[in-house]
Amino acid sequence: GAVVSQHPSWVICKSGTSVKIECRSLDFQATTMFWYRQFPKQSLMLMATSNEGSKATYEQGVEKDKFLINHASLTLSTLTVTSAHPEDSSFYICSAASRGEAQPQHFGDGTRLSIL
């Protein structure tokens, strides 16, 4: 149980392109979804937290107009990297958690984004 599906797994595109990443909880209702970014050999960096039906809460230093997050249902959240540039190249990982203090975050497989 607790499967999170993230697509696409790999994206290579030109600078200036907008890229949308989907995160779905397949067998549970995710009241909260999280978006992380991880550069090579570095730790996870939380970008934003989103609760179903409300606006995402962004971490300090994360541009909300560049990283658009939508959490329209209890099973789907999307992250759109708008006008991506080479410095946005990274490993983006979503996670989802259901309601409850003891509920762990379950991670998708991640999306490796390369901007040329």
Partner 1 sequence: GQNIDQPTEMTATEGAIVQINCTYQTSGFNGLFWYQQHAGEAPTFLSYNVLDGLEEKGRFSSFLSRSKGYSYLLLKELQMKDSASYLCAVKDSNYQLIWGAGTKLIIKP
Binding site for partner 1 (CB under 8 A): 2, 6, 34, 43-44, 46, 49, 91, 93, 95, 101-102, 104-110
In the complex, minimum distance from the CB of residue 42 to partner 1, in angstroms, rounded to a whole number: 8
In the complex, minimum distance from the CB of residue 93 to partner 1, in angstroms, rounded to a whole number: 5
Say which residues have a Cβ less than 8 Å from residue 61's Cβ, sequence separation at least 6.
none
DSSP 8-76: -SEEEE-TT--EEEEEEESSS--SEEEEEEE-TTS--EEEEEEETTSPPEEPTT--TTTEEEEEEETTE
In the complex, minimum distance from the CB of residue 91 to partner 1, in angstroms, rounded to a whole number: 8
> Which CB sits closer to partner 1, 75 or 108?
108
- Tokens at 85, concatenated: 């540039």
Question: Cα torsion at 87, 11, 98, 53 (round to 10°)?
Answer: 80
> Which CB sits closer to partner 1, 11 or 93?
93
> Which CB sits closer to partner 1, 87 or 101?
101
In the complex, minimum distance from the CB of residue 56 to partner 1, in angstroms, rounded to a whole number: 14
> Which CB sits closer to partner 1, 20 or 110?
110
